[in-house]
Amino acid sequence: MTSPTFEFSAGAASGGPDDDIPLHTLKILIAGGFGVGKTTLVGAVSEVRPLRTEETLTDMSAGVDDLRGVESKTTTTVAMDFGRITFSGGVRLYLFGTPGQERFWFMWDQIASGAVGAVVLVDTRRLESGFSSIDFFERRDIPFVVVANRFDGALRHPDEELREALDVDADVPIVQCDVRGRTAARDVLVTLLEHAVDGVRSSDSR
Ligand SMILES: Nc1nc2c(ncn2[C@@H]2O[C@H](COP(=O)(O)OP(=O)(O)OP(=O)(O)O)[C@@H](O)[C@H]2O)c(=O)[nH]1
Ligand SMILES: [Mg+2]
pLDDT at 57: 85
- pTM to 2 decimal places: 0.88
Closest residue CA from atom 21 of ligand 1: 35
| pLDDT by 10-residue block (mean), the chain, 206 residues | 44 44 87 95 97 84 64 89 93 95 88 97 91 96 96 90 96 97 97 93 78
d(CA 92, CA 64): 37
Residue 98 beta carbon below 6 angstroms from any ligand 1 atom: no
pLDDT at 16: 40
Q: What are phi and psi of 3, to 5 degrees?
A: -80, 145
Q: Which domains does the chain have, with CATH numbers?
A: 24-64+72-204 (3.40.50.300)
CA 113–ligand 1 middle distance (angstroms): 25
Residue 124 beta carbon below 6 angstroms from any ligand 1 atom: no
* Integer angstrom CA distances of residue 104 from 11, 40, 83: 42, 18, 20
Which residue, 30, 129, 119, is CA-closest to 70? 129
User: Which one-letter amino acid corresponds to residue 70?
Assistant: V
pLDDT at 122: 96
Largest Cα span, the chain: 58
CA 5–ligand 2 middle distance (angstroms): 28
